[in-house]
């Protein structure tokens, strides 16, 4: 579906096919499954990651829970929904997608083609995400001036969505329109989504780039090498406060100090209309092995305690604009 040729998730042969992102960039391995439990585990292990991609995968997974099931469909469906909802607490797209499939379940319960109805709905969610990614890219073009140098954090490209990406798709569109000359990609500790995944995509797109440690961002700004920062989002509150990968808040503060525009790009479905402000966003805490180990290789003592939030919240006052599939919002935000 995605124009980039990179596919995070696809539905082929009545099964979900996903790219195991924990093995990138050295190994491109695709997994094919029709098990919602396997998909749930993949979301937890970050084999499938990025708020929109998680939503798309969860929609297919919940529909697949009824594949070949004729006995006790409600019990099976509710167990699958509960399991999938437990995987990642911060990304709102997950819960939005589960709700969409649940509504379809209720509307069609009792029909002999219930499974087909659910799969068709999941396919609609996927196709909508493809279209939203393209709209985000178009709406984001106005943030660039000619010869812009952009810094981004984590991965918000095709690997994070069902389509061509959010923040990275905006940057890619800017490059294709002759507005972006160069991209800096934060490595994004502790799991290196920037140096593994964003770098992987930028190389595929032939966009000139360099990786840098997260702590190098301030020095780049001090040297006046960065014109703007664009990142994705996993949840946006009604007032514009935004949760994204840990380290995003650091960048927003640095941008404010150096007078550099800081933008968020995400679909409208990332706006949580039940969340008034950032303090209400639940932040996922990950296991300390993600900090003490890498690829099963221990890099520091397991005896040490570690604090490992997966996300932080950037106050809306630090955000220059929020790019969605509808428009480029400017402050003050009031979704």
175 and 115 in a common domain:
no
Q: Say if 146 falls within a structural domain.
A: yes
pLDDT for 144 beyond 50: yes
- State the pLDDT at residue 325: 98
Residue with tokens 């499938």: 48
Q: Which of 134, 149, 175 is the last residue of a domain?
A: 134
User: CA-to-CA distance for 132 and 139, rounded, in angstroms?
Assistant: 10
Q: Tell me the torsion sign for CA atoms 212, 252, 4, 188.
A: positive
**Rounded percentage of the chain residues whose pLDDT exceeds 70:** 99
Q: In what order do the strands lie in the sheet with 235-236?
A: 235-236, 242-245, 311-314
* 186-212 mean pLDDT: 97
Q: How confident is the model at residue 3 (pLDDT cuts 50, 70, 90)?
A: very low
Q: Say if 128 falls within a structural domain.
A: yes
Answer for the pair 149, 181: CB distance below 8 angstroms, yes or no.
yes
pTM across the whole model: 0.94
105 and 19 in a common domain:
yes
Here the tokens at position 140 are 């984001």
- State the pLDDT at residue 294: 87
267 and 216 in a common domain:
yes
Pairing of strands 321-323, 328-329: antiparallel
CATH number of the domain enclosing 42: 1.20.120.420
Residue numbers annotated as active site: 234
Q: Which of 85, 109, 134 is the last residue of a domain?
A: 134
124 and 142 in a common domain:
no
User: CA-to-CA distance for 322 and 297, rounded, in angstroms?
Assistant: 39
Structural domain of 164: 136-329
113 and 56 in a common domain:
yes
Q: Say if 215 falls within a structural domain.
A: yes
249 and 196 in a common domain:
yes
Q: Say if 165 falls within a structural domain.
A: yes
Here the tokens at position 9 are 């998730």
Answer for the pair 159, 6: CB distance below 8 angstroms, yes or no.
yes
* 119-130 mean pLDDT: 98
pLDDT for 198 beyond 90: yes
User: CA-to-CA distance for 255 and 247, rounded, in angstroms?
Assistant: 13
pLDDT tens digits, residue range 97-113? 999 999 999 999 999 99
pLDDT for 69 beyond 90: no
199 and 266 in a common domain:
yes
What domain count does the chain have?
2
pLDDT tens digits, residue range 246-284? 999 999 999 999 999 999 999 999 999 999 999 999 999
**Rounded percentage of the chain residues whose pLDDT exceeds 90:** 96
267 and 220 in a common domain:
yes
């Amino acid at each position: 579906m995605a124009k980039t040729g990179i596919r995070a998730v696809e539905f082929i042969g009545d099964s979900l096919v996903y790219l195991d992102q924990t093995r990138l960039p050295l190994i491109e391995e695709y997994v094919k499954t029709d098990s919602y439990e396997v998909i749930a585990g993949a979301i937890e292990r970050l084999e499938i990651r990025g708020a929109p991609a998680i939503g798309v995968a969860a929609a297919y997974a919940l529909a697949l829970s009824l594949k070949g099931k004729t006995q006790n469909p409600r019990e099976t469906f509710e167990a699958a929904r509960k399991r999938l909802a437990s995987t990642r607490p911060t990304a709102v797209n997950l819960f939005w997608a589960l709700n969409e499939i649940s509504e379809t379940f209720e509307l069609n319960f009792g029909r002999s083609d219930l499974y087909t109805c659910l799969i068709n709905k999941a396919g609609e969610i996927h196709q909508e995400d493809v279209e939203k990614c393209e709209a985000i890219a178009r709406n984001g073009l106005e943030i660039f001036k000619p010869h812009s140098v952009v810094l981004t954090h984590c991965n918000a490209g095709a690997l994070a969505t069902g389509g061509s990406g959010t923040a990275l798709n905006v940057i890619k569109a800017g490059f294709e329109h002759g507005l972006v000359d160069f991209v800096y990609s934060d490595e994004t500790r502790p799991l290196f989504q920037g140096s593994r995944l964003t770098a992987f995509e930028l190389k595929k797109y032939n966009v000139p780039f360099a990786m840098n440690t997260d702590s190098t961002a301030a020095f780049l700004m001090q040297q006046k090498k960065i014109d703007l920062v664009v990142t994705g989002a996993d949840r946006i509150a009604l007032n514009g406060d935004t949760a994204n990968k840990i380290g995003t808040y650091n960048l927003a503060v640095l941008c404010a100090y150096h007078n550099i525009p800081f933008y968020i790009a995400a679909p409208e479905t990332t706006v949580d209309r039940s969340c008034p402000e950032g303090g209400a966003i639940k932040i996922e805490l990950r296991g300390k092995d993600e900090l003490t180990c890498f690829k099963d290789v221990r890099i520091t003592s397991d005896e040490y305690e570690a604090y490992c939030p997966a996300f932080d919240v950037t106050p809306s006052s630090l955000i220059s604009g929020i790019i969605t599939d509808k428009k480029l919002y400017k402050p003050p935000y009031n979704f």
